[in-house]
Amino acid sequence: MSPGFVVSKLVRCLVTLLLAVTFVFIVLRLSGDPAQRMLPDDVDASVIEAYRRMWGLDKSMPEQFVRYIVSVLRGDFGISFRDNREAIDVVSERIPATLALGFLALAITIFLGVPAGIFAALNKGRWLDRAMMTATILGHSLPNFFLGILLILCFSMTLRWLPSSGIGTWQHLVMPALTLGTAFAGTVARFTRSSMLEVLDQPFMRTARAKGVSKQTRTLRHALPNAAIPIVTVIGLRLGALVGGATVVETVFGYPGVGLLLVNSVAQRDLAVVQAVVLLIAFSMVVVNLVVDLAYGWLDPRIAALEEREAAT
């Protein structure tokens, strides 16, 4: 992996981030006077005036834009009118809960999806393969909010095993993480399967078999690393859907993470919090995409080399 490859990826990240900030800036200005949007309705006229001066709303648009970027860089998103605190504080205290949910869901996805895809590929065309592929279509079509409600109906209402909402114990995490993880696991299983099937046909797999390498070693040491690229791609591509899904799942289970905060803030039009959450998510998505891009270069050096050659021409 050469520095050029890393730098070109970094530049793209910065462009995306700048676009996200610009998007929020434009939407914010288009939708009315930010001073009135960001402050509660009942504040004094002098406060509004002070706020306008503080944020430079009396300046020209390009100057406002630069000021906006600077304030975003300083983590200054304005005051949440719902609890009169800095928006950034309101958001950041919700982050650990969402990260816990997200990582658990991702773990479920990977430890369910990848082995399922491998087994389906090894048993191609048999009943195990068909059953798994049917399950993935079912999982993909089942909306996560509906699955969540069905789980609540089953495990909270009927069996009374798990709490239906809230946070605190590990039991609170079980259903949200399962809901978020399983839908995603189906997609990963399908990609793992088709990617494994392609690799299993390759001549080097025949060679390994002829050498007498055991089936387990062949699958895990020879086939899986070569099939890893599409799997990493799909996980990277679907992380956005995971973040979107988290907002829905957190709402279903009343799980107080960033997603639930976003939904509540949108409903009550607490714009300072909304823009903080949106920019936070854009930022984390960009970082994740960068990690996935760099992971390619590490998993398959040919990709980095190819992109450098394309960039050179």
Question: For residues 170 and 272, which CB has a smaller minimum distance to other proteins in the complex?
Answer: 272
Question: For residues 46 and 178, which CB has a smaller minimum distance to other proteins in the complex?
Answer: 178
Q: Are 79 and 270 in contact (CB under 8 A)?
A: no
Question: For residues 221 and 302, which CB has a smaller minimum distance to other proteins in the complex?
Answer: 302
Structure tokens at 175: 């259903």
User: What is the closest distance, in whole angstroms, from the C-beta atom of residue 278 to other proteins in the complex?
Assistant: 5
User: How far are the Cα atoms of 93, 167, 179, 249, 278 from residue 253, in angstroms, in the given order?
Assistant: 19, 9, 10, 6, 21
DSSP for residue 168: S
User: What is the closest distance, in whole angstroms, from the C-beta atom of residue 222 to other proteins in the complex?
Assistant: 20
Question: For residues 28 and 205, which CB has a smaller minimum distance to other proteins in the complex?
Answer: 28
Write the CB contacts of 124 (distance below 8 Å, at least 6 apart in sequence).
197
Tell me which residues touch other proteins (CB under 8 A).
12, 15-16, 19-20, 23-24, 27-28, 30-31, 37, 137-138, 140-143, 145-146, 149-150, 152-153, 157, 194, 197-198, 237, 240-241, 243-245, 247-248, 251-252, 262-263, 265-267, 269, 271, 274-275, 277-278, 281-282, 285-286, 289
* Neighbouring-strand partners of residue 80: 85
Structure tokens at 287: 């970082």
Question: For residues 37 and 218, which CB has a smaller minimum distance to other proteins in the complex?
Answer: 37
User: What is the closest distance, in whole angstroms, from the C-beta atom of residue 243 to other proteins in the complex?
Assistant: 5
- DSSP code per residue over 210-223: HTT--HHHIIIIII
Backbone angles phi, psi at 126, to 5 degrees: -85, 180
User: What is the closest distance, in whole angstroms, from the C-beta atom of residue 174 to other proteins in the complex?
Assistant: 18
User: What is the closest distance, in whole angstroms, from the C-beta atom of residue 282 to other proteins in the complex?
Assistant: 5
**Amino acid at site 58:** D
Question: For residues 49 and 134, which CB has a smaller minimum distance to other proteins in the complex?
Answer: 134
Q: Are 230 and 172 in contact (CB under 8 A)?
A: no
User: What is the closest distance, in whole angstroms, from the C-beta atom of residue 256 to other proteins in the complex?
Assistant: 15
